[in-house]
Amino acid sequence: MSDLDATTPRIFLARHGETEWTKSGQYTGISDIPLTSEGVKQVTDTGRLLVGPRKLVDPARIARVWVSPRRRAHQTFQHLFGDSISPERVILTEDITEWDYGDYEGMVIGDIRMLRKERGLDQEKAWNIWRDGCQGGESADQVSERLDRLIEEILKVQGPHMDGKEPADVVLVAHGLILRCFVKRWLRYPLDIDLPMIMSPGAIAILSYKNHDVNQPGIYVGMALPSKEE
């Protein structure tokens, strides 16, 4: 058995590539904005390096893919995987859409904080989305609820296969903030815990379990790439 075959099931988090609002720093929730040409290149390059037989993300080992229905996420899935994942393994779900920014959709953080001050909010502390949520949009509790629901589905898929003998990797193709929220919920942290994270457009992050134990969710801070040799 190769080292790759012996791994505990993993969860790959794939952030969509650049959009025009990614470049400008505008909060992009429900707006259905496509990738830029640079965004397509980011994702295509990531896929070329990391996705494929005997690569980090091997389609043959993927049991399920959850994709945000937003166009930028769907484009990212297509550029990463093409037709290498059979349709019955792919699920479009609102559970992994970006945080609903409500009144703050399309705004940058400085303007959001100014707007909230004008509304009499945040007089003592600056707005923090992890704690305060979004007026007209989602609260941290609402985001946690839908991500926890998705985590339960992932555990059902991976729980019986902690020995790595059967393909049980999963992939989430979604958005920058919601994927960082997912990391916190995967580690069983509340969303307002201070856990600084950075995830570039087109990036792939990896979660898994410690000691092959479904009750010990973990995060890879580094992982060796599989050997190309059989």
Q: Based on the residue annotation, tell me whether 20 is a catalytic residue of this protein.
A: no
| Residue 124: CA count within 13 A, CB half-sphere | 0
Q: Are strands 90-92 and 62-67 parallel, antiparallel or unpaired?
A: parallel
State which residues form the domain around 101.
11-219
Q: Based on the residue annotation, tell me whether 16 is a catalytic residue of this protein.
A: yes
Per-residue pLDDT of the chain (230 residues; tens, 9 = 90+): 334 445 799 999 999 999 999 999 999 999 999 999 999 999 999 999 999 999 999 999 999 999 999 999 999 999 999 999 999 999 999 999 999 999 999 999 999 999 999 999 998 899 999 999 999 999 999 999 999 999 999 999 999 999 888 899 999 999 999 999 999 999 999 999 999 999 999 999 999 999 989 999 999 998 887 876 54
Asked if the structure places residue 38 within a domain, the reply is: yes
| Domain count along the chain | 1
Asked if the structure places residue 230 within a domain, the reply is: no
The Cβ of residue 150 has, within 10 Å, a number of other Cβ atoms equal to 19
Q: What is the pTM of this model?
A: 0.94
Question: Which one of the listed residues 18, 79, 98, 105 is annotated catalytic?
Answer: 98
Asked if the structure places residue 113 within a domain, the reply is: yes
Asked if the structure places residue 102 within a domain, the reply is: yes
Asked if the structure places residue 60 within a domain, the reply is: yes
Please tell me whether 218 is known to bind a ligand.
no
DSSP state of 176: H
Please tell me whether 99 is known to bind a ligand.
yes
Asked if the structure places residue 5 within a domain, the reply is: no
Asked if the structure places residue 180 within a domain, the reply is: yes
Q: What is the CATH number of the domain that holds 20?
A: 3.40.50.1240
Please tell me whether 98 is known to bind a ligand.
yes
Please tell me whether 18 is known to bind a ligand.
no
